[in-house]
Chains A and B, each alone.
Chain A
Amino acid sequence: MRRAADPLLALALVGAALASLLTGSVALTPLEVGTALVGGGEDTARVVVLSLRLPRLGLALLVGASLALAGAALQSLLANPLADPFLLGISGGGAAAATLAVVALPAVLLGLVPLAGMGGAALATGLVWWLARGPLGASSTRLILAGVAVNAAASAVILLVLAFASGSRLPGALAVTMGSLAGASAARAWWLLPYTLGAAAVLLHHGRDLGLLGTGEESAAGLGVDVPAVRRRVFLAAAALCGGAVAFAGVIGFVGLVTPHLCRLVWGQAPRRLLVRSAVLGAALTAAGDTLARRLVPGAELPVGVITALLGVPFFVALLRRSA
């Protein structure tokens, strides 16, 4: 199964991307989409494909890859299968700040919502790190406990903001809490790209260290890992990835938690390959989820986080039962 799985993964990514490009309120044939992608065809088709669908696909791929990478890295870093950006309060912090910005900012400043989301994620990361610091540094257990506390506080802030949100701002605020790629644009995707690549490079550089940390901190230190330095860098890189994802797409659950487990179940534990495969699968899942979110109910768009969960859970359960 492992040998056949890599081409299948590539196929899933290509399939999800094609489906995303072919889906939308304007009916376009595959030929029209293809022609528009290379700059030809009618103006309407070109605008729809190049200005709307392609940026949305790009953002979906980046967000999905970011969440899955962050999840895979955090699970290994903390030697905890349940660790993900949500458990550690990073997504919660970003979502709380973005929700607050959607509700409180004047209409002309709503373009700053992603910045607020990233700022919130950064603030939550700093707070979690500060709370987790003990006499021996920030231990894994303390990081998780601090994350749970920050997450609870962020949830309370989000509920409070939603309770006081005016009618016109409520849908925007809800979109942040439930995840949506409706606000995608080429500028946003280009802005997120170097940011994602930079953080991903940090994680890939520490791929082997992460594999060793999955066997415990003392064990990893004995094999040459500078545990405090690696913990700091990986945590910050994962927080940056997650902060970027939340800032541009709101809270998309499940991808960060389950994608790495799916990859582990299919391909095993090879640490750097796990990161790469998680990123690819996370990107494919999010793109597919976004496509379905646009198609399932005609005239309406479902929260993409709900779709990613509905897509991934059956696969995950099936694989879990098989491996047992």
Chain B
Amino acid sequence: MTALSARGLCGGYGARRVVGPVDVDIAAGSCTAVLGPNGAGKSTLLRLLAGILRPSAGMVELLGRDIAAMRRREVACLVGFVPQALALAFPLTVHEMVSQGRTPRLGPWRPAGLADEAAVEAAMRDLGLGAHRDTPVHTLSGGERQLVLLARALAGEPRLLLLDEPATGLDVRHQLQLVDTVRRLVERGVGAAIVLHDWNLACRLADTALVLHGGTIAASGPPHEVLSPDLVARVFGVAVERVLTPGGLLLAPRHAVAGWLDAPPAPGGGRACR
């Protein structure tokens, strides 16, 4: 079953097109890693898929429904979105922030019930945040804040997770915890799209890799097949070597490809948005 499907999707900021046209399918119970160099349009694609950014062309279907015809709250009940940046204007505790994940289900007036509190506690437990329940979020490290944001998304019990660089700032142990948590949810039937910069983490976590370059899809498919040395050199400007280890195949960066930045891709890969 397809959790999310996008066709001819284009979008950007004002007159500047950043993404598109792209076609994306995320199956329920599968994880897609969104990869690409800085400025490739990964975060913008995620915002378009989450319905946060209005597309300039194309459409997104969430569980078979046109996302443009859905209310924001309806979308948020189905999609757990983890943004890259978080403004912390006022000090919230970990519990207060994770509880925000239930807000779409509560609406403007319904008080939180036992089921809501249980979902919040389960999300904090899943990500090892139980001991930090009453800790102010602004006193946590960057990596721990990422875990809080992920717990907030999980507290909403979403059918689809859209995670924008959730592994940034996480130490290795917490990266593995992130992988385990996402894989566990995926096995329960949740669809996931996750922006990553770590190719090896993508290989470990994702069923599909979607490589963006210049706002369009340069390649997609099983991560080990997609992330060939040729593609990595062309898209990321890095020469890599595949190394077979007891833990599996790893991509080992060797050096930057000379002159890569001299040939940026054309916006939209030359295709028009309709």
For residue B107, which residue of chain A has the nearest CB? A208
Q: Does A224 contact B (CB under 8 A)?
A: yes
A225 to B77, CA, bound (A): 11
B100 touches A269 (CB 8 A): no
Q: Interface residues of A toward B: which range?
A: 20 to 34
For residue A83, which residue of chain B has the nearest CB? B89
Q: Which residues on the A side are within 8 Å of B96 (C-beta)?
A: 268-270
Q: Does A264 contact B (CB under 8 A)?
A: yes
8 Å CB contact of A218 from B47, B88, B152? B47
A216 touches B72 (CB 8 A): no
Q: Does B14 contact A (CB under 8 A)?
A: yes
A218 to B50, CA, bound (A): 11
Q: Does B87 contact A (CB under 8 A)?
A: yes
Stretch from B28-36, B55-63, B78-86, B216-224 at the A interface: B78-86
Complex interface bits, A188-218 against B, C-beta within 8 A gives 1, otherwise 0: 0000000000000000011111011011101
Q: Which residues on the A side are within 8 Å of B103 (C-beta)?
A: 208, 211-212, 223-224
Q: Interface residues of B toward A: which range?
A: 35 or more
A14 to B100, CA, bound (A): 34
B89 touches A80 (CB 8 A): yes
8 Å CB contact of A216 from B15, B74, B85? B85
8 Å CB contact of B50 from A80, A134, A222? A222
Q: Does B273 contact A (CB under 8 A)?
A: no
A134 to B16, CA, bound (A): 14
8 Å CB contact of B87 from A135, A136, A219, A270? A219
- Shortest distance from the beta carbon of A324 to any chain B beta carbon, whole Å: 11
A224 touches B87 (CB 8 A): no
B92 touches A219 (CB 8 A): no
Q: Does A24 contact B (CB under 8 A)?
A: no
A224 touches B104 (CB 8 A): yes
For residue A209, which residue of chain B has the nearest CB? B108
A246 to B175, CA, bound (A): 54
A81 touches B90 (CB 8 A): yes
Q: Which residues on the B side are within 8 Å of A136 (C-beta)?
A: 13-14
Q: Does B73 contact A (CB under 8 A)?
A: yes
For the A-B complex with A211-B103, A222-B81 known, give 18 more contacts whose Cβ atoms are closer than 8 Å.
A81-B90, A134-B14, A208-B106, A211-B100, A212-B100, A214-B90, A215-B87, A216-B87, A222-B50, A222-B153, A223-B103, A223-B104, A223-B152, A224-B71, A224-B77, A224-B104, A226-B72, A269-B96
Interface, chain A (partner B; CB < 8 A): 75-76, 79-81, 134-136, 205-209, 211-212, 214-216, 218-219, 221-226, 264, 268-270
A-B contact pairs, 10 of them (CB 8 A): A75-B89, A135-B15, A208-B103, A212-B103, A214-B92, A221-B50, A222-B81, A224-B72, A268-B93, A268-B96
Interface, chain B (partner A; CB < 8 A): 13-15, 47, 50, 52, 71-77, 79, 81-83, 85-93, 96-97, 100-101, 103-104, 106, 108, 152-153, 156
